[in-house]
Structure 1
């Protein structure tokens, strides 16, 4: 894929973007946003405070409302989708932790990965495996529950 120039920082937040395959961008853009797409290099803006999700080497940006799915990094903590292939969410992780003291989300996803069922490059806005994000989500939800218990909430 050719690019007009190399742009690594988000033009809005200045955050260093992660390269994302154009197939990921095409799969997740709304119909109206897809009409603006040019076949240039694209990057994902990881800054949770920034409304930009993707930015292209041609200067085009795509915001949260240009995508068909909510973006984990751009949504408030609590009910975010973490695994776009198998539907693991913070809410589901929390429910599991509260019921049993343990979440098997990471193990379930590992099973699916081993069976070759994931499609992260098309379903995850980052265009890569979500396992690290799911592991972090389990830790963060566990900490939130522990904090709530300690503070009596």
Structure 2
């Protein structure tokens, strides 16, 4: 918040527009680098800690703990013929790789076969990194690759990753 306040004060002063633009760009790039080093990036809600769901339920098929997932995530990954089944419901994501169920609500269940993508072999959905690639290249090298890609193109975890979250924390934990 302090940086935003400083930017506001700078822009209220009568500084040449070109100088203001340069200062603004440098400040924003600095914020992006700082956030990227913490595993976050500006504009990427999936990588922030505020996106971690505390709301959980038990998967009706495998009985694993399952976290709440956004409707945007569910709709972006479901095959089109399933869109009408989503409605106005709260969905939960089952992260158990051995379970065929992927999303469930009080009234609806979706299986992995109902998705447009395959989920079992991916470590990073935004940049198409397989679990095998992480095992072969190593966690640190893959995380560096993801960070570099995020810096240049950003990510879309909220619509590409079935959990709706950034994969970096999961890769860090699993490998």
Match of 1:59 in 2: 107
Match of 1:83 in 2: 124
Q: Deviations over 1:103-130 (max 9, x none)?
A: 6210111233345601101100000000
Please, what is the CA RMSD of the aligned residues?
A: 2.3
The runs of 4+ residues in structure 1 deviating greater than 6 Å are none
Match of 1:10 in 2: 59
Decide whether the 8 Å contact of 2:56 with 2:67 is kept in 1.
no
Question: Out of 122, 143, 150, which is 1:106 matched to?
Answer: 143
Q: Deviations over 1:46-85 (max 9, x none)?
A: 22222110001x32000010011112xxx3xxxx111111
Bigger fraction of residues in helix? 2
TM-score by length of 2: 0.61
Greater C-alpha radius of gyration = 2
Aligned residues: 121
Unaligned runs of 5+ in 2: 1-54
Between the aligned partners of 2:149 and 2:56, the Cα distance in structure 1 is 35
**1:1-153 alignment, distance < 5 Å:** 8-56=57-105, 58-71=106-119, 75=120, 80-96=121-137, 104-115=141-152, 117-136=154-173, 139=175
Unaligned runs of 5+ in 1: 1-5, 140-153
